[in-house]
Every structure is written in structure tokens, then in C-alpha cells.
Structure 1
Amino acid sequence: MGKTSDLTAVQKTIIDTLHKEGKTQKVIAKEAGCSQSSVSKHINRQAKGRKKCGRKKCTSSRDNRTLQRIVTTNPFKNVGEIHKEWTAAGVSASRTTTRRLMKDMGFRCRIPCVKPLLNMKQRKKRLTWAKDKKDWTDAEWSKVMFSDESKFCISFGNQGPRVWRKSGEAQNPRCMRSSVKFPPSVMVWGAMSSAGVGPLCFLRSRVNAAVYQEVLEHFMLPAADQLYGDADFTFQQDLAPAHSAKTTSTWFKDHGIPVLDWPANSPDLNPIENLWGIVKRRMQYARPNNAEELKTTIRATWALITPEQCHRLIESMPRRITAVIEAKGAPTKY
């Protein structure tokens, strides 16, 4: 009867009751029918609480703060580099412990998002632009025709869907993705508004000011007629050299088309970027064999874009602007 684990539930209840009444351990042991040492151990354990089991931690709170500072200062270091720097600070811990503590702190190893580099001048201009447009309504944004170019390739590298295959089918052509050194690609110009998308233009040569003005003449103007009719609209474009050329500015003035002022390196503010992403995701299972088949696939996928999808993307403009203001001009999640 020397161990508290030998005590029955009834005995433990008796001990707890009599102890609260102020009885001595000798009296309690006699009433409960157990040894005095069992009573003492039970009372002490109840008072102190059960001791924690397991191995004692090898790092202190200060050590953990040092680790968090190392990871936060340079999040692109791998576990080995982080562990080396941490142990150099006088901490004795294994690489496995380092990885586990980083995970406990909430750090996860992920592929980083790629965003355009913004210098301080560009960030200030983005912030100023966002503050200037923060009170625009959905009706005002619906009058804007957003435009952009995008490159489509037959091979999308290592991205795309995974494959379900059985053991030994790794070399089966049905389970393989083809790749070439210089995959055929096409450059596409497109435009959208809250009312839907306009016709696509496949660019055959490098886009200079002259080529871009032909695109505006033969594709942007028909898109404006299709999406706006006789209503007024504002055209959006980025600051590519062909777009900001003096002859291009003259073209817009001659045609009486206002152009929305636009900050540099700001694809996160252009909803058509998300539209290109939708098209490319829908095409990830397609396997065009040449550039012409690729164009056919792009046209067919673009034709499936609904006005509702475009409207939802345009409606995100106030949220994009708020995100830029909160980020003080830095890149956003969009």
C-alpha cells in the first residue's frame, strides 16, 4: 500500500474529505485503511499537481527568441544555415530540434510569391495613385477598359497538374509531360471591362509604338464598340515604352480617348492579370502541338469568359486600392 496508485477511488475520496476537515495524516490513514505515507503522497500530489513527464527542454525562451529573430531577419536561409547561425550564438540544439521549433513558431517552407521590384519612388507614386482613386465607385470603374499583353507557351515547365500512375509507368508516354528547349509561344493582347472581354490580338512581332497603334486601331476600337457602344469610357494601359511613346499619346488625343493614369510596375492593380491567370489554368490540361493549335486553344478558352467573371474582377478594384494604401505602396496579394 505504499504507492498512491494502489489507493482506490473511495480511499482517495476519504483522504481528500478528512484532509479538508483538518484531520491529521495518522487519523486519515486509519480511517482510509492505508499507510500514512500513501496519505502523505496523495495530499502532496494533489497540492502540487502532477509533475510533467518527458524530456526537459534543451533551449530557453531566450534561445527561442534568438531563433525567431534569425528566421525573420533572413527568411530565405535554409534549415542548415539557420541551425548553423543559431548554434554559433551559443545554443546547443540539433538540426531536428531547430526544424521542429521553427514549425512550432508557425514558420512553413513555401514557394515565394514573385512580385515586381518597386523602389521607394515607385511605391510613393502607387500610394498617391491609390489615395487619389480610393473614393471611386463601382460605376466609375465600370467605365474603364483594362488592357494588357500576356505570353502563352506550349510548355509550362514544371508547373501544371500532377499525374496518377502505377509503379513502372514513369516512362509511359501517357504519364509524361513533354518539354523542349525553346517551346513555341505566342504573345497576346486583350481587353476587358465590366461588360465582358473584347477580341484578342496575336502579336507577330516585337511591340513598338507603330505596332501598338495598329493594335489600338484594329482591336481596341472594335472592343470599345462591342463593350461600350456610344457610351464614354477610359482606357487603361501599363507604362510599357510602346504605350507611353509620344506618337501613341498623340493617337489617343486624335481619337478623343482618355487614358487612365497608371503607376509603374503595378500588375496587382490590373484585374486583367487575374483573367490571364484564369485562362492559363483552364488550359493546363490542353496539349497543343504547335503555335497554331495553341492560338486555337487560347481563343476557345477566352470565348468562355463570362461578363459575370469580368464584373467580379472589376468590383475588386476598391479592395486592391485599399490593400495598396495599407501596404504603403508595397506589392499586394493581388
Structure 2
Amino acid sequence: MSLSPEECTRIITMVQEGRSQRSTTGTVGVSLSTVQRVIQRFQKTGMNIGRPGNGRPRCTTVREDRFIVSNMLKIDILDAVQVRNSLQEVHHNNVSSDTILRRLREADIKRYRPANGPKLLREHRVARLRFAREHIRWTDEDWSRVIFSDESRFCLFTNDGRRRVYRRPAPLLRVSDDSSYYRQACFEEKVPFGGGSIMVWAGISAESRAELVVIENGSLTAPRYVEEILNEHVGPFLVNMVAHSIFMQDNARPHSAHLVNAYIQDVDITRMEWPARSPDLNPIEHLWDEIGRCVKQRSPAAAILRELRNALVEEWSNIDQNRIRKVNSMAHRLNEVIRAITSSWRKYNVLKCQKSFLFAD
């Protein structure tokens, strides 16, 4: 344990005043061996601090430490090698990747799984920002006129990485417990292609929902989308909605085909222009996740596709409409889009100016 010179002086003074070393430990809050080392060093050298060590000197300065931390937090760098290369390029200091990791640990920066989402190009970000600014002043009454629709695929056997098992840590396993690492309760089996899957379509609004449609006998094409979805479900759903209802669909290929556009124009369906690669703006995505959890928690679990189909239909009908109304938080989603995009562009412009200043002749 490393003590400051003031603490060492306090220990030496207390012992010289006649107190025992054991009673000194309770007052100072250190171990008996630490007190003994301080007294022995004082008796041999007459000093209350240790001799200067001969260890390896620190290879980075305080400024370089700040550079390492700021690069990892503010720039799109995902590993220590890139930070090391950036440090060598700017400060001309060639250190190892282990040094970079140590500096990050000292700053309490740890490694986590990155958040994931669709790849967004500049045109996608511009479209998302334009959509958010155009609809940011919409009220709850305005959004209640929108029908949000989407398709989702559910596999018979899924491995979402959320399951956890309980066992001893690997270094603490006894010889008789070596098999517990691979025993059945601690092992999750994988089935190729999820054992089969089912695609479904649904639509929701603040006050009602459409029937869950199971898409069977092949994939969803533009003609099937017109006949089985738009004609049979979206049309009747819009009739029962309030006046001036708006239909929302994403930019999947079956949705953007000429056949679909012609049908929507012929039947006079008002369609919302939706920005590409924006599933996070669709509140129905939260319901897909909730249905998947409910189906997985059913007992007994679905063993064949017919049972999975029946479970999906049943869980969809069991969702409370208040739950659907709760996830329909479009104002919050649009505010987050504006905040995220504007802040990222602001940081990019600042970093661009900094780099041009550093490498200017």
C-alpha cells in the first residue's frame, strides 16, 4: 500500500510517542505490515518516504493521455490500434496498443458491445432530418390519423443473446465440475436458419389496429402486397378511421413498385413519405419485439410452424391498445433525430477544423 509522506510522518510520530504499532494501525487505518515497513525504513534511512524507484518511466504525457481519451470518445474509432496510429501521427509518439488500453482503463473507459442499426449515408441523414423538421409540430391528434404498418419475420428457434446461465467462473471450476461448463442447462443450441420462419404484416394507429396477416406460401411480392394487404386490410381499415387518414409504409421493394404506387393513386390513399432506412421512427417495431418476447416465454414453447403461427396471432390480439398508444411517441423520436444529427454534424465540423489547423503548413 502506497502512503503519502504526511501519513508516514503521522505513523512515526505516534510510535515515537509510545503507542504500539498495533494500536497505530487502527488509528491510521492501515495494516500492521505497512506500519512495520514505515518504522523499519525510518530506522535505517532516517527518511519518512521510500527511495526513488527504478521502474520504467511513463511513456505518455498528460496531454497525450487526454488525446487518447478524446479520440476514443469523440471520433469514430473502435480499436486501440487506430488510436495508437493517430497518436503517432499527431504527437509523434509510438506506443503499444497495450499502453492505449491502460490509459483508457485509467480513465474508466471500458469496452461494450456497440449499438447497431442500418447504415446511413449523408442523403439518408438529410432525409431523416427533413422529415423530422416537417413533422415536429404535429400534435397527438395529427399522429392519431396515421396508420403505421410494417412486416416482420419470426423464427421458430431464436438466439437473441439475452439468455444468461448460472455457474461458477471458469478458473474456479473444480475437477468434478469441469463438465458444468457444457452441461445442458449452461448450453444453448443453435438450429440452422432458425428452424423455419413466418412473416407477418400488421398496422396500428392510436385508437385501433389492423388484423395480423400471416404471409404464407412464398415471399411477399408487389402483386401479393396489393391483393392481400392493401385491398383486403388497409382499405377497410382506412374506412373505419377518422377523416383524412394517412397510411405509412416503409420503402421496401414490394412497397415501392410501380404496381403498388398505381393502386394507391387509383383508390385515393393518402400515403406518408417515409425516409429510407428509418425503422427506429416506426413505433410498431417496439410491438414486434414485445410479441417476440411473449411468444418465446410461452409454455410449452412452439415446436412447429403451425404452433408459432397460432401463438403470433394470439399474442397480437392480446396486446392492450393503451400499450400501442404509449409507444406512439413520435414527438420524442423526431426530437431525438434532430438532436443526434445536428450534434454529429456540429462535432464533425469542429473536428475538421481542428485537423486542418494541426496539419496546416
TM-score where L is the length of structure 1:
0.72
Between 206-215 and 216-225, the greater mean CA deviation after superposition = 216-225
Cα distance, 1:6–1:267 mapped onto 2, change above 3 Å: closer
Deviation at 1:59, TM superposition (A): 3.1
Q: Once the 2 structures are TM-superposed, how far is the Cα of residue 247 of structure 1 from its aligned partner?
A: 2.3
Aligned-pair CA distance for 1:271: 0.8
Match of 1:311 in 2: 325
Q: Give the Å deviation of 1:94.
A: 8.0
Q: Which residue of 1 aligns with 2:210?
A: 198
1:248-276 Cα offsets, whole Å, 9 max, x none, are: 22322333321111111111111111221
8 A Cα contact 2:148 2:248, kept in partner: yes
Which amino acid counterpart does residue 62 of structure 1 have in structure 2? R
Q: Matches of 1:329 and 1:60 in 2, distance apart?
A: 33
CA apart distance, 1:185: 0.8
| TM-superposed deviation, 1:69 | 5.2
Query: Is structure 2 residue 90 aligned with structure 1 residue 90?
Result: no
What CA distance in whole angstroms lies between the structure 2 residues aligned with 1:175 and 1:92?
41
User: Which residue of 158, 161, 164 corresponds with 1:162?
Assistant: 164
Larger CA Rg, structure 1 vs 2: 1
Q: Is the 8 A contact 1:59 1:93 kept in 2?
A: no
**CA distance 1:148–1:65, shift in 2 (3 Å):** same
Instruction: Quote the residue 1:328 is aligned against.
Output: 341
Separation of aligned partners in 2, 1:130 and 1:87: 41
CA distance in 1, matches of 2:184, 2:267: 54
Distance 2:241 2:75 in 1: 54
Q: In structure 1, what is the Cα distance between the partners aligned to 2:257 and 2:110? A: 45
**Per the alignment, in what secondary structure is the counterpart of residue 242 of structure 1?**
coil
Per the alignment, residue 78 of structure 2 pairs with 76
**1:57: how far off?**
5.3
Name the stretch that deviates more: 60-69 or 173-182.
173-182
Moved more, 162-171 or 121-130: 162-171
Indicate conservation of the 8 Å contact 1:146/1:235, yes or no. yes
Are the counterparts in 2 of residues 238 and 262 from structure 1 also a CA contact under 8 Å?
yes
From the superposition, tell whether residues 122 and 329 of structure 1 become closer, same or farther in structure 2 (CA, over 3 Å): farther
In the TM superposition, what is the alpha-carbon distance from 1:66 to its structure 2 partner? Answer: 3.6
Moved more, 213-222 or 108-117: 213-222
Note if contact 2:77-2:83 (Cα within 8 Å) is conserved in structure 1. Answer: no
Q: Sort the Cα spacing of 1:59 and 1:329 in 2 relative to 1 into closer, same or farther, 3 A.
A: closer
Listed as ranges, the gaps of 5+ residues in structure 2 are 1-8, 18-47, 169-176, 345-361
Equivalent position of 2:149 in the other structure: 147
CA contact (8 A) 2:81 2:97 kept: no
Do the aligned partners of residues 293 and 146 (structure 1) sit closer, same or farther apart at CA in structure 2, a change above 3 Å counting? same
State the distance in 2 between where 1:154 and 1:60 align. Answer: 55
Compared CA separation, residues 256 and 187, structure 1 to 2 (3 A) = same
Per-residue deviation, residues 63-92 of structure 1 (Å, max 9, x unmatched):
213423553545222x46656875894356
Please give the secondary structure, in 1, of the residue aligned with 2:255. Answer: helix
Query: Which of 264, 267, 278 is equivalent to 2:276?
Result: 264
The Cα of 1:187 is off from its aligned counterpart by: 1.1
Aligned CA-pair RMSD:
3.5
The 5 A counterparts of 1:43-58 are: none
Match of 2:173 in 1: none
**1:300 maps to which residue?**
314
Q: Which moved more, 1:175-184 or 1:128-137?
A: 175-184
Aligned residues: 286
Picking from 251, 254, 273, the partner of 1:242 is 254
Return the letter of the residue paired with 1:321. Answer: L
Distance 2:188 2:63 in 1: 49
For residue 180 of structure 1, the aligned residue among 164, 176, 191 is 191
2:223 corresponding residue in structure 1: 210
| TM-superposed deviation, 1:201 | 1.0
> CA–CA distance in 2 between the matches of 1:280 and 1:159?
14
TM-score by length of 2: 0.67
1:63, 1:91 within 8 Å by CA — same for their partners in 2?
no
Q: 1:94 to 1:277 in 2, by over 3 A?
A: closer
**Per the alignment, in what secondary structure is the counterpart of residue 110 of structure 2?**
coil
Distance (whole Å) between structure 2 residues aligned to residue 138 and residue 281 of structure 1: 28
In structure 1, C-alpha distance between the alignment counterparts of 2:340 and 2:320, rounded to whole Å? 31
| CA–CA distance in structure 1, aligned partners of residues 270 and 109 of structure 2 | 47
Shift of 1:152: 0.9
Local SS of the residue matching 1:235: strand
* Identity of matched residues, %: 28
Say whether the 8 Å CA contact 2:200–2:215 is kept in structure 1.
yes
Residue 28 of structure 2 corresponds to: none
Separation in 1 of the partners of 2:81 and 2:337?
35
| Comparing 176-185 and 85-94, the one that deviates more | 85-94
